[in-house]
Structure 1
Amino acid sequence: MKYAYINGIILDGSEDMVPQKGKVILTENDKILGIVDKDTDLNTYQKIDLKGKYIMPGLINLHVHLPGSGKPVKEGVDNGERIKKLAKNPIVLIAIKKICEKYAKMELMSGVTTIRTVGGAKNYDTEIRNKINAGKMIGPRVLASNYAISVPDGHMAGSLAYIANSADEAVQYVRKIAEDHPDLIKLMITGGVLDAKAKGEPGELKMPAEYVKAACEEAHHLGLKVAAHVESPEGVRVALENGVDTIEHGAQPDETILSLFKERHACQVATLSPALPYALFDRSISHATEMEQYNGNIVFEGIINCAKACLENDIPVGLGTDTGCPYVTHYDMWRELYYFHKYCDVSNTFALYTATKRNAQIAGIGNITGSIEPGKCADFVVTANNPLDDLTALRDIEMVVTQGKIIDQPKVKKDPEIEQELDKFL
């Protein structure tokens, strides 16, 4: 099909983007053919009248766990142990696969045309990716990691990650994961807020440096980048020294860490959405303990300070939601942009650029998607209002175009409890 998107205001995804009026986007099948003047002959195209609305690249979410719902944790429930038990039940796993497919579609319907999964159930991420690519289901472009690699008592060990007991085992797990042709490998190098055993010690280093080095070397040998869960300065340093390509989350950096980022050509993927509820919610709502809230604030401030320092030093920063954590849904990527603007002091324009063109570059697909320019994939979202004026415009998506396929008036069922609590921080 050949489409001409007329009467739209174009935000092209570039760092200095400005609204462009009087232009028409021409596409054929899944590709952008050109951006032309409105008086161009369009007789061979089917016209899509945007009626003065804003059209921009589809959002890219660099940190997703498809099995998670984002439902609030009930008081007294150990969510980590619950996930481990569910992951061992073969009947439940069948249902989880269907849930993952449902949530992949939900990401798309909320305006996210590309997701990067960083720890999932079994090999479901690559299976869902392959199913979408084959046209057997509708969903976003998926960059998949499948199961991650952790260590005994490590983050997500036994639920969304294999447990490596040695550097050799870490290498074997990289090879095992690679059999399903993932797009990246995920390591769980430190603990997280809920793994901490003491106040003031979130992000404790769990994976020994030699495991990290061995896993990264094998992944790179196989042509795969490595993303790592890291929530402490020590963890960031160990990750960067031993070959990790993207620091997921982050922590307060020092000069050594910033030098390592540059030397290794590494990036931070900031995830403000999961840290905010633990740090800022009233504990009667989050059901976090005093220790968890204290540690949550350390992680939240660490991610913010890491992002600010990286940006000041021309180190790329991407965005992801860590969807699956409590109060982080598969339809709220727009909130991550909003938090990036609010807490990291970037402009709305820079936040939108980060979630589109910059995220595509970090993910290694900058030649495919992330901006509206000839030759790129036709991945668009349409909003009634201008997100450069107010990022909440992205909350209500009027149209999604995924690899040339048009979804008009996409619908997402939202959780009113989650919306109510998160809206307090807008």
Structure 2
Amino acid sequence: MKTVYIHGILLDGSENMEPQTGMAVITEGEKIITIEPQQSAYEGAQVVDLKGQYIMPGLINLHVHLPANGKPKKKQSDPKKLVKLMTSNNFLRKIMLKMCEGYAKTQLMSGVTTIRTVGGVEDVDTKIRDAVLTGRIDGPRILAGNMAISVPGGHMAGSLAYEATSPEQARSFVRQIAKDKPDLIKLMITGGVLDAKVKGEPGELKMSPEIVKAACEEAHALGLQVAAHVESPQGVQVALENGVDTIEHGAMPSAEIIQLFKDRKACQVATLSPALPYALFDRAVSHVSEMEQYNGKVVFDGIVECAKECLANGIPVGLGTDTGCPYITHYDMWREVNYFHKFCGVSNAFALYTATKRNAELVGIGDQTGSIEAGKCADFIVTEKNPLEDLTALRKVTLVVARGKRYTDPQVKKMPEVEQALDQFI
């Protein structure tokens, strides 16, 4: 049966989108079959009256870690110990899988119809991806990364990432990860804010250029893109010089780095959300040290400037939340879109375009989703207000449609302390 969405104000996801009235979006199964001027009647079709609300493509979150929920912490936990416990027997593995399935569904219920996971536990991400695709569970489309590759002492080493000690071992880990048919390979090239030992030097280079190059060559030979955690200029340069496709996070760029982006046809996936609490929160709220706050500001400013310079030079920028970091929940992709507008100076329309059509194009699924066009998947959301006027309209969606399946009045359980802390930065 065809489904016809009428009386909606259409935002199609294009770069210069403007509200379109009087149009009907017609779907059949998982696909949008046409967008046409609304007719007076549609016999034999199910009609959904949107009553003047705004219909737009579902959001796409390009940087997600499913095993964590973003709950604030007063002190650092040991991810290596936690992962070791949760993978110690089949019972705990099943609990972990169910937990991650729930987090994936939360993304969907918040209006995110596609996620890209960039570091998970074992093969959990691909298992959930496949369960969603076969209809066994509800969730967004997932581009799955499974385990990442780090080095001893590197970012997330031993928890969400294998520890490679040589180029040969890095190649071996790529092949091992590829057995579960992931959609990308993730490298942890530098440390992060909490890994830093010196004030003013976050993002210390951890992975050697030789290991980066070997991993990229092996991944590309298998037809897989490489994403890399990078939070320093040195790390960005090493990543781009040795074959990385997407720079996750970013750092203050030099002219040489901008040229490398162009030469490699690479892009930045900006993640403003995780750095903001470290950089801008009162330390009584964030519970970080003065050094960690200082380094957080270095990283935050670096991500912002990298995005601005990339955009100014015609280099594409995508968006993701880095969900799982403290204060970064599975329902707050709308905040990342808003931060992009607020801190990088882009228009509301460009921010929404980036979180939909541009994000889809950057990861090779632009022919499937990201905009409301005939032939693409029926992935869209509905809001009462117009996000082109105020991006906080995305905070509450009244309808989610994913691969043609409707979820009316979707609900997510929110964390009041997170809402209170982050709302100051809207």
The one-letter amino acid of 1:26's match is I
Q: Percent identity?
A: 66
Instruction: Name the SS of the counterpart of 1:366 in structure 2.
Output: coil
CA separation in 2, counterparts of 1:176 and 1:67? Answer: 21
The one-letter amino acid of 1:2's match is K
C-alpha deviation, 1:79, in angstroms: 4.4
Instruction: Name the SS of the counterpart of 1:181 in structure 2.
Output: coil
CA separation in 1, counterparts of 2:82 and 2:199? Answer: 24
Q: 2:351 — aligned with what? A: 351
CA separation in 2, counterparts of 1:100 and 1:254? Answer: 38
Q: Does 1:417 align with 2:417?
A: yes
Q: 1:159 — aligned with what? A: 159
CA separation in 1, counterparts of 2:10 and 2:83? Answer: 46
C-alpha deviation, 1:40, in angstroms: 6.1
1:130-163 CA deviation, whole Å, 9 max, x = no partner? 1111110010000001000000000000000000
Instruction: Name the SS of the counterpart of 1:185 in structure 2.
Output: strand
The one-letter amino acid of 1:230's match is V
Q: 1:172 — aligned with what? A: 172
Instruction: Name the SS of the counterpart of 2:72 in structure 1.
Output: coil
The one-letter amino acid of 1:33's match is I
C-alpha deviation, 1:88, in angstroms: 5.1
Runs ≥4 residues deviating over 2 A:
77-94
Q: 1:89 — aligned with what? A: 88
In structure 1, stretches of 5+ residues that fail to align are: none
- Native 8 Å contact 2:129 2:141 kept in 1: yes
Q: 2:276 — aligned with what? A: 276
- Native 8 Å contact 1:188 1:207 kept in 2: yes
Instruction: Name the SS of the counterpart of 1:228 in structure 2.
Output: strand
CA separation in 2, counterparts of 1:40 and 1:376? Answer: 25
C-alpha deviation, 1:407, in angstroms: 0.4
TM-score by length of 1: 0.98
CA separation in 1, counterparts of 2:198 and 2:93? Answer: 33
Instruction: Name the SS of the counterpart of 2:207 in structure 1.
Output: coil
CA separation in 1, counterparts of 2:78 and 2:24? Answer: 49
Q: 2:77 — aligned with what? A: 78
C-alpha deviation, 1:371, in angstroms: 0.2
Q: 2:51 — aligned with what? A: 51
CA separation in 2, counterparts of 1:256 and 1:87? Answer: 43
The one-letter amino acid of 2:182's match is P
Q: 1:263 — aligned with what? A: 263
Instruction: Name the SS of the counterpart of 2:102 in structure 1.
Output: helix
CA separation in 2, counterparts of 1:332 and 1:245? Answer: 26
Between Structure 1 and Structure 2, how many residues are aligned?
425
Instruction: Name the SS of the counterpart of 1:397 in structure 2.
Output: coil
CA separation in 2, counterparts of 1:83 and 1:119? Answer: 15
1:264-320 CA deviation, whole Å, 9 max, x = no partner? 110000000000000001111111011100000000000000000000001000000
1:240-274 CA deviation, whole Å, 9 max, x = no partner? 00000000000001111001101111000000000
CA separation in 2, counterparts of 1:73 and 1:338? Answer: 24
Q: 1:67 — aligned with what? A: 67
- Native 8 Å contact 1:262 1:315 kept in 2: yes
C-alpha deviation, 1:38, in angstroms: 1.3
1:31-60 CA deviation, whole Å, 9 max, x = no partner? 111111112652132100000000000000
- Native 8 Å contact 1:87 1:159 kept in 2: no
Q: 1:16 — aligned with what? A: 16
**Counterparts of 1:33-52 in structure 2 under 5 Å?**
33-39=33-39, 41-52=41-52
The one-letter amino acid of 1:133's match is L
1:46-77 CA deviation, whole Å, 9 max, x = no partner? 100000000000000000000011000123x3
Instruction: Name the SS of the counterpart of 1:194 in structure 2.
Output: helix
Q: 1:123 — aligned with what? A: 123
Instruction: Name the SS of the counterpart of 2:195 in structure 1.
Output: coil
C-alpha deviation, 1:82, in angstroms: 4.9
CA separation in 2, counterparts of 1:170 and 1:413? Answer: 39
The one-letter amino acid of 1:252's match is M
1:350-391 CA deviation, whole Å, 9 max, x = no partner? 000000000000111000000001111000100000001100
Q: 2:213 — aligned with what? A: 213
- Native 8 Å contact 2:83 2:121 kept in 1: no
- Native 8 Å contact 2:80 2:158 kept in 1: no
Q: Does 1:360 align with 2:360?
A: yes
CA separation in 2, counterparts of 1:198 and 1:94? Answer: 40
Q: 2:405 — aligned with what? A: 405
Q: 1:380 — aligned with what? A: 380
Structure 1 pair 94/245, CA: closer, same or farther in 2 (3 Å)? same
**Counterparts of 1:216-365 in structure 2 under 5 Å?**
216-365=216-365
